[in-house]
Amino acid sequence: MASQKFELMTLPYAANALEPVISQQTIAFHHGKHLQAYVNNLNALLPGSGFEETPLVEIVKKSTGGIFNNAGQILNHELYFGQFRPAKADNQPTGNIANAITRDFGSFDAFKEEFQKKGATLFGSGWVWLSADANGKLVITQEANAANPVQKGLNPLLTFDVWEHAYYLDYQNRRPDHLAALWSIIDWQVVEQRYNAK
């Protein structure tokens, strides 16, 4: 059977648009090298796997081993790179997602503190996620390596990548500083669209 070919996602902004929070050099390596490698690896593994025509999210839910690792990282990075916009002072959620954050965490500041703490304390490589459950309730989870909340039946809304490749060129070992800076470049309209979609 001929296999589908995944392609490197196009960034919805220029490679230098997120500076100084994420440098152009980090984008060049993170998107152009790391994510490209996951795409190339998955395409090489698909023929004969049984996942030749399976949608990406379903591959993440059903696969194991190398196929899972590369498919998971593609899904994770598409959600990650798709959630940013140029930095803005006092960047805050609005609308339904803002109301849900206040309802489920008490306040936006309390949510940010909890999310950053979960990101800073995740040992090794992985991701911290804000997701919605089937009832629309918001939850924060830590996922190791290539894991994604869709494996738990959750709808992933927002994520911080805590693999060192996401921040080492710009922040070296200062992961908490990197996480704190990311709030200014979150595109909350994208996050709310993801929330409203389910």
Contacting positions for Mn ion (CB under 5 A)? 161, 163, 166
30 vs 194, which CB is nearer to Mn ion?
30
CB of 31 to Mn ion, least distance (A): 9
Rank residues 22 and 97 by Cβ distance to Mn ion and give the closer one: 22
Residue 187 and residue 124: Cα distance in Å, rounded?
27
* Minimum distance of Mn ion from residue 164's CB (angstroms): 9
Q: How far is the CB of 10 from Mn ion (least distance, A)?
A: 17
Query: Which CB atom, from 32 or from 106, has the smaller least distance to Mn ion?
Result: 32
Minimum gap (Å) between residue 161 Cβ and Mn ion: 4
Sign of CA dihedral 14, 16, 22, 27: positive
Taking the least distance from each CB to Mn ion, the nearer of 161 and 187 is 161
Strand partners, 129: 141, 159
Please give the residue whose beta carbon sits closest to Mn ion in the complex: 161
Place of tokens 């070919």: 5
